[in-house]
Amino acid sequence: MGMLKYQRGKVPLSIIAISVCALAFVVLLYTERISPLSSGSIFRFTFCSAKRHAAKLKKSRDEYIKPISYADDDRFEFDPEECSLAHGKWVFNRSVKPLYSDSTCPYVDRQFSCVKNGRLDFDYRHWQWQPDDCMLPRFDPQIALKKIQGKRLMFVGDSLQRGQWESFVCLVESMIPQHQKSMKRGHMHSVFKAKEYNATIEFYWAPFLVESNSDVHIIVDPKKRILKVDSVANHAKHWTGVDILVFNTYVWWTSSLNIKSLWGSFANGEEGYEELDAHVSYRIGLKTWANWVDSNINPNKTRVFFTTMSPTHQRSADWGKMNGTKCFNETKPITKKRHWGTGSDKRMMSAVAGVVERMKVPVTVINITQLSEYRIDAHSSIYTEMGGNLLTDEEKADPLHYADCIHWCLPGVPDTWNQIFYAHL
């Protein structure tokens, strides 16, 4: 995925260096494997009851924070009207183990299987997000399965959304007997079936939500991509009849400052495009998606969610490490309150807020951006694959060009996204 943003660092870069880094970032886009094999808060959504204030926390010698007890807090009914998720901190809790690993869950792509790919530090799996004035309820796989019983749940979007889908599947699949579950991977559409619950957990590949000439066969050069910003029809026919829809789209829009945008019917076909500023094209695309939702979704039958942008951490100067190499070798979250790096675009965040608030059909926004901004330690980094192959030792030794600071290890940060999603179900 490309992420061409103006650099605001204090250290000037040569044109050659900028070109090399940009090329490396674009290369990451094409690790978006869709094959069957494999700042302050702009959204002020609230989540937890004010009755559940966390106990005072103390730092230990190694600067980790003393684990929190959930025992009392789980007794209170979850209240999404009294707590903001965007304001909080990551709390280290070694006593809480992930509900799965990339070894125990067979559905984690190699792209996200950091431990299997050689990562030796495991602390990134033991951080929990704690909002300032409440606690999120723990993810209970059995309750989650009961909430989707008899339903179709579909995640729609790019590879970040695919990571969230795989996370959700892995969080619940161990509760289902082997003969009562199945997975069918497709080029665009993949389906996990929980037969015992008569439920499906699905993923549909649509990185822009609207249609493009790069949906099926990925076009390497962003300048050759053309988006039909007024059409979702080819994608949306797969969304009808779904009970719970979870959308996302962001990082693919950032691969170029301008996007070739096509709408209406032109005699000269794709040559009728117009190059628009990426922010303008993004807003038009979101409006097209919103119009489809408003025109086709019955809110009494279908719930709609939208996951906000997942931050990228390509520039270590953003968190004060002038001599760092992107997210490589980072082992702890950023602790500076309200940190916001160049990998998250506030204008696009505002576009989502503006479009969603005008929609007729209620859309629940899963606001993951600020809490994910802190997690420079949890990306796939060099423990990933590129072009279907694991990185070689030579490539691992060159993190400037090969470290993936876009995608996340599983288990990891996407599990927290699903904890938030679960709290709304």
- Amino acid, single-letter form, for residue 265: S
| Cα 161 from Cα 167, distance rounded (Å) | 10
- Amino acid, single-letter form, for residue 264: G
- Amino acid, single-letter form, for residue 187: H
Q: What is the DSSP string of 42-99?
A: SS--B-S-TT-PPPP--B-TTS-BPPPP-TTGGGSPP-TTS-BTTSEEEEE-TTSPPS
| Cα 104 from Cα 116, distance rounded (Å) | 11
Chain mean position to CA 37? 21
The phi-psi region of residue 102 (left if phi > 0; otherwise alpha if psi is between -120 and 50; otherwise beta) is alpha
Is the C-alpha dihedral spanning 275, 280, 282, 286 positive or negative? negative
How big is the CA angle at 137 (ends 293 and 50), to the nearest 5 degrees? 95
Instruction: Give yes or no for a contact between 371 and 87, defined as CB atoms under 8 angstroms apart.
Output: no
Question: Before 299, cis peptide (omega within 30)?
Answer: no
379-406 as b/e, with b when 16 or more CB fall inside 10 Å? bbbbbbbbeeebbeeebbeebeebbbbb
Cα distances (Å, whole numbers) of residue 24 to 1, 90, 220, 297, 408: 9, 30, 12, 40, 18
Tokens at 422, concatenated: 């679960």
Instruction: Give yes or no for a contact between 342 and 5, defined as CB atoms under 8 angstroms apart.
Output: yes
| Cα 396 from Cα 380, distance rounded (Å) | 12
Tokens at 237, concatenated: 């026919």
Q: HSE on the CB side for 30, CA within 13 Å?
A: 13
| Cα 240 from Cα 296, distance rounded (Å) | 8
According to DSSP H, which parts of 274-331 are helical? 278-296
Instruction: Give yes or no for a contact between 374 and 340, defined as CB atoms under 8 angstroms apart.
Output: no
Beta bridge partners of 202: 154, 191
Residues noted as catalytic: 159, 404, 407
